[in-house]
A and B are shown apart, each in its own frame.
Chain A
Amino acid sequence: MSVVTPSSERARLLSIAGLNAYFGPTQVLRGVTLEIAARRVTAVIGPSGCGKSTFIRCLNRMHELVSGARCEGTVRLDGADIYAPSVDPVALRRRVGMVFQKPNPFPTMSVRENVLAGLRLTQRRLAEPEDAVVERTLRRAALWDEVKDRLAAPGVSLSVGQQQRLCIARALAVEPEVLLMDEPCASLDPIATAHIEDLLSTLKATYTIVMVTHSMQQAARVSDETAFFLSGELIEATRTDALFTAPRDRRTEDYITGKFG
């Protein structure tokens, strides 16, 4: 395991050092050390079971919600350790948002209510009128034009691709600093996937994005930095073009040339 740092010059927002994660007695992440640059898209790639999902779930403290699961090591957001005893995981999750593999809009809420759900759930007082927030967030998620006449329709009445963008909007409405995405396009067809990939290039101007993906091509298309995981260890992490054209580790090269996967 080597200590690797992204080669960008931008500020480090998330610093991970010596992260170990466990499900009960089984260790699933080993000594992961990585710096995530602010306002970039960092892709996390690797074969099934290598710990990618577990890794990002440690970044918003969702990993520990599974009974018997725990982790050790430091994860710093803006310099402060998110696992310090004084930290409230609930408050943390408002700064680090998450989008899941399968779109999960709340079925009893309309499109509009879904967008506002994060704010209503956490009982935040809005500085601006709700309609403004809804429009702004849906525009940011590239969904406004498609649903602006259907804001009162149930969230689940949208197509799967639209539902995922709705979930992105919902996560963005809370104004997080970091957006974690766990294989967000896994349930989507190629056209819907393309919409989301286009979205990422605009989102990264405002948010720091860490995206787990099963597709190397997707990582190559959308990310600025890429981290390659294998069997719970971080093998290599660097600028995306560097990783895919001149990987430093033999195992990285084997993975990206399809020798295993």
Chain B
Amino acid sequence: MSARASSSRGERVLRAACLVAVAAPLFALTALIVGVVAQGAPHLDLDFLLSGPSRFADRAGLYPAAIGSLMLIGLTAALAVPVGVGAAIYLQEYGVQGRWARLVEANIATLAGVPSVLYGLVGLEVFVRALGLGRSLAAGALTLAMLALPIVIIAAREALRAVPHELREAGLALGATRWQMVWQVVLPVAAPGILTGIILATSRALGEAAPLLVLGAVVFASDPPAGWSSPFTALPLQVFQWASRPQEAFAQAAAAGIVVLMVTLLLLNATAIALRDRARRRGA
């Protein structure tokens, strides 16, 4: 006798309700994607990608914002990844016990829950003003790196934790020092998982506008940033600016910008998820 034969009416109602609940966000997402693509498609052409914004809506392009985002993410990753992975290695392989490590862990959990806009406030106060970096790419990257740091640490920690204990023992029993064992035995096995974490953190930083807004990234930049100390803008900020304009044509530009942003993020996240699933299957 199969279990399904005995399903009650209540169960069927529940199942229907569940299906509606699962479908609703998917439906909303589809509506969002369809709406955005429909609105933005006419505006999406090579000109859009390669030219700068303008007062004339039909000529608005996102090139400076795209370059700004690229440089920003690059510097953010260069800052957050070594520090984050290093911290994760320390917590997992070295000072696992003790008050210091527990303090750091509680701290990371706190940081992970801070609203992103508050990082903008800190960046404004510390990097822009106190350290005198001004409203520059460097300040933006430092701010986003603070935001990305807990994400990288948590993901890297998970990946390290998944490495079987026996491998560490084998390495130590061969007479390796702790670092030799970590570098040559643990890290190669944890690498896919750590990479996943890096990609997820990067994609998160790419989509963030709020901290940059507060930081004072310019919202109208006609040229890509010249260097690390120049003012900059980023993709989500450019979209925000277009979305705040009343003209319909700017709304089109905003939609097109969102399409570009979402496609990029989709590719990044899909890569990260595929990597993570492959790592899980290999470890099993």
B181 touches A121 (CB 8 A): yes
Starting from the known contacts A104-B167, A121-B175, A122-B177, 15 additional A-B residue pairs (CB-CB under 8 Å) come to A65-B169, A90-B177, A91-B175, A93-B172, A94-B174, A98-B173, A117-B171, A118-B175, A121-B174, A121-B176, A121-B184, A122-B174, A122-B176, A167-B170, A174-B175
Our count of residue pairs bridging A and B at CB distance below 8 angstroms stands at: 74
0/1 string, A157-199, CB within 8 A of B gives 1: 0000000000100110010000000000000000000000000
B97 touches A67 (CB 8 A): yes
A108 touches B188 (CB 8 A): yes
Minimum distance in angstroms from A19 CB to a CB of chain B? 19
0/1 string, A49-66, CB within 8 A of B gives 1: 000000000001010010
CB-CB under 8 A for A122 and B180, given A106-B185, A171-B173:
yes
0/1 string, B83-98, CB within 8 A of A gives 1: 0000000000000110
Asked if A123 is an interface residue, CB under 8 A from chain B, the answer is yes
In the complex, 24 of the A-B residue pairs with CB atoms within 8 angstroms, ordered by the A residue number, are A67-B97, A91-B175, A94-B174, A97-B174, A97-B175, A100-B166, A102-B166, A104-B167, A106-B167, A106-B170, A106-B189, A107-B282, A108-B188, A108-B189, A109-B188, A118-B174, A118-B175, A121-B176, A121-B180, A121-B181, A122-B176, A122-B177, A123-B180, A171-B174
Asked if A139 is an interface residue, CB under 8 A from chain B, the answer is no
B181 touches A100 (CB 8 A): no
Asked if A120 is an interface residue, CB under 8 A from chain B, the answer is yes
B173 neighbours in A (Cβ, 8 Å): 60, 62, 93, 97-98, 100, 171
Given the complex of chains A and B, what is the CA–CA distance between A104 and B174 in angstroms? Answer: 12
Q: Give the residue name and chain of the A residue nearest to B184 (CB).
A: A121
Q: Give the residue name and chain of the A residue nearest to B96 (CB).
A: A67
B180 touches A93 (CB 8 A): no
Given the complex of chains A and B, what is the CA–CA distance between A67 and B98 in angstroms? Answer: 11
0/1 string, B70-81, CB within 8 A of A gives 1: 000000000000
CB-CB under 8 A for A170 and B174, given A67-B97, A121-B180:
yes
Given the complex of chains A and B, what is the CA–CA distance between A203 and B188 in angstroms? Answer: 32
Q: Which residues of chain A in 58-106 are interfacial with respect to chain B, using CB atoms and an 8 Å cutoff? A: 60, 62, 65, 67, 90-94, 97-98, 100, 102, 104, 106
CB-CB under 8 A for A93 and B167, given A120-B184, A121-B185:
no
CB-CB under 8 A for A117 and B172, given A104-B167, A107-B189:
no
Given the complex of chains A and B, what is the CA–CA distance between A109 and B187 in angstroms? Answer: 12
Given the complex of chains A and B, what is the CA–CA distance between A118 and B181 in angstroms? Answer: 10
B175 neighbours in A (Cβ, 8 Å): 90-94, 97, 118, 121-122, 174
Q: How many B residues have CB within 8 A of the partner chain?
A: 21
Minimum distance in angstroms from B100 CB to a CB of chain A? 14
Q: Which residues of chain B in 173-197 are interfacial with respect to chain A, using CB atoms and an 8 Å cutoff? A: 173-177, 180-181, 184-185, 188-189
Minimum distance in angstroms from A57 CB to a CB of chain B? 9
Asked if B164 is an interface residue, CB under 8 A from chain A, the answer is yes
Given the complex of chains A and B, what is the CA–CA distance between A109 and B167 in angstroms? Answer: 12
A122 neighbours in B (Cβ, 8 Å): 174-177, 180
Given the complex of chains A and B, what is the CA–CA distance between A120 and B183 in angstroms? Answer: 11
Cβ-neighbour of A117 out of B97, B174, B177, B189 (below 8 A): B174
Q: Which 5 A-B pairs have the closest CB atoms?
A: A94-B175, A118-B174, A121-B176, A98-B173, A93-B175
B166 neighbours in A (Cβ, 8 Å): 100, 102, 104
A90 neighbours in B (Cβ, 8 Å): 175-177
B172 neighbours in A (Cβ, 8 Å): 62, 65, 93
Minimum distance in angstroms from B171 CB to a CB of chain A? 6
B97 neighbours in A (Cβ, 8 Å): 67
B176 neighbours in A (Cβ, 8 Å): 90, 118, 121-122
Q: Give the residue name and chain of the B residue nearest to A109 (CB).
A: B188
A120 neighbours in B (Cβ, 8 Å): 184
Given the complex of chains A and B, what is the CA–CA distance between A108 and B172 in angstroms? Answer: 17
Minimum distance in angstroms from B261 CB to a CB of chain A? 36
Given the complex of chains A and B, what is the CA–CA distance between A98 and B172 in angstroms? Answer: 10
B174 touches A93 (CB 8 A): yes
B169 neighbours in A (Cβ, 8 Å): 62, 65, 100, 104
Given the complex of chains A and B, what is the CA–CA distance between A123 and B175 in angstroms? Answer: 10
B188 neighbours in A (Cβ, 8 Å): 106, 108-109
Given the complex of chains A and B, what is the CA–CA distance between A106 and B172 in angstroms? Answer: 12
Minimum distance in angstroms from A166 CB to a CB of chain B? 11
Q: Which residues of chain B in 113-157 are interfacial with respect to chain A, using CB atoms and an 8 Å cutoff? A: none
Given the complex of chains A and B, what is the CA–CA distance between A75 and B177 in angstroms? Answer: 22
